[in-house]
Amino acid sequence: EYVMFNGEIVERKAAAVDIEDRGYQFGDGIYEVIRIYNGLMFTAEEHLQRLDESAASIGIEIPYAREDLQIKLESLIAHNGVRFGTVYLQFTRGNAPRKHPFPVGAAPTFVAYTREAGRPEEKLQSGVKTILIEDIRWLRCDIKSLNLLGNLLANQKAAEAGCDEAIQHRDGKVTEGSHSNVSIVKGGTVITHPANNYILNGISRRVMLEICRKEGIPVEERVFSVAELEAADEVFLTGTTIEVMPVIEHDGRTVGNGVPGAVTRKLQQEFRTEIEKQCGA
C-alpha cells in the first residue's frame, strides 16, 4: 500500500509523523477529500482551490502550485490503480516544540492517501435518517480544518441514535451536517444556508446549486429555521462521498412522504450527469 508523504510516493509503513507534529497535537492543519470516479478526480480544481483558501486563512503555506499538487495526486491515484474511491490529503503546520505561537521556519507536513470505495447506492436510493443537534462548533466553520471534535461529537450522537447524520442548528437556525451540507425543498424551491463562516461551502453544494440554476429550479441561499426543516417537503444532504443524499426521516418523524422527493431525485440524476461529463463514469 502506497501513500504520499511530503510529496513522495512511499510505502504506508515508511510514512511517519513526529509526535510534536502540530497536526497531531493541536489539529493545526487543513485537509480535503476528493472523490475518484473511473480513476479520475471529480471537481479537483475546486477542492484544491478551497485547500488554498483554508491554508491562507490560517497562515499555512502550501509548498506546491495547485497544478503541481494535482499532478502529484493523479500520480498517487494511478500508482495505486484506484478506479472508484477517494483521495484524502492534509497539510499540517509541521513539527516544532509544543508551543502555541506559530513556529518560525517549520515546514508543513503533507500526507495523502487513497481509499477504494463505491457509491453508496442503496442509501442514495432509499435515503437516510438524521437527528437534530445543537451546533457547538467554533465560528470559522468555513475553514476545512483538522479540528473536527465538534463534528465528531455531533456524528457520534447520530450514530448512537441509529442515524447517518446530525443536522446542526444555532439558536434554531439550521447550519449544516457533521460532514455534509443540508438543504430543504419547500413548494419546489431549494433552500440552503448561505456560504458564510457558519458552514463549510461544500463543493457538492456548489455543484448542486449550479444544477438548480441550469435546470431552472428556484433556489434561496438563506438561513432557514428548525421549524422550516421540520415542515419541509424534502430534505437532502450534499457531500463528496454522498453526492445528493435524500433524508427520509428526521428526529423520528417522516420527511414528506417518507421516500426521496422529486426535486431530490432530479438533483441526484443531474449530479450523476456532471460526474459522467467530468469522469466518464
List the catalytic residue out of 72, 129, 144, 277.
144
Q: How is residue 177 written as a grid cell? A: 451536517
* Rounded Cα distance, 183 and 192, in Å: 5
Residue nearest to ligand PLP (CB): 202
Tell me the torsion sign for CA atoms 167, 136, 228, 205: negative
Residues 201-240 that bind ligand PLP (CB under 6 A): 202-205, 238-240
Binding of ligand PLP by 85 (CB under 6 A) = no
Nearer to ligand PLP, 196 or 254 (CB): 196
Q: Does 175 bind ligand PLP (CB under 6 A)?
A: no
Closest Cα to residue 215, out of 244, 241, 239?
A: 244
State yes or no: residue 92 binds ligand PLP (CB under 6 A): no
| Residue closer to ligand PLP (CB basis): 28 or 32 | 32
Is the Cβ of residue 96 or residue 244 nearer to ligand PLP in the bound state?
A: 244
Query: Which residues are paired to 26 by β-bridges?
Result: none
List of residues 6+ apart from 40 with CB closer than 8 A: 278, 279, 280, 281
- Does residue 144 carry a catalytic annotation? yes
DSSP-assigned beta bridge partners for residue 85: 36, 116
Does residue 169 touch ligand PLP according to CB under 6 A? no
Distance CA 222, CA 217 (A): 16
Task: Output the nine-digit C-alpha cell for 246.
Answer: 435524500
Residue from 86, 130, 181, 183 in contact with ligand PLP (CB under 6 A): 181
Describe the crossing of helices 66-80 and 44-58 by its angle, rounded to 10 degrees.
120
CB of 270 to ligand PLP, least distance (A): 15
Q: Report, as residue numbers or ranges, the catalytic residues.
A: 144
Tell me which residues touch ligand PLP (CB under 6 A): 151, 176, 179-181, 200, 202-205, 238-240
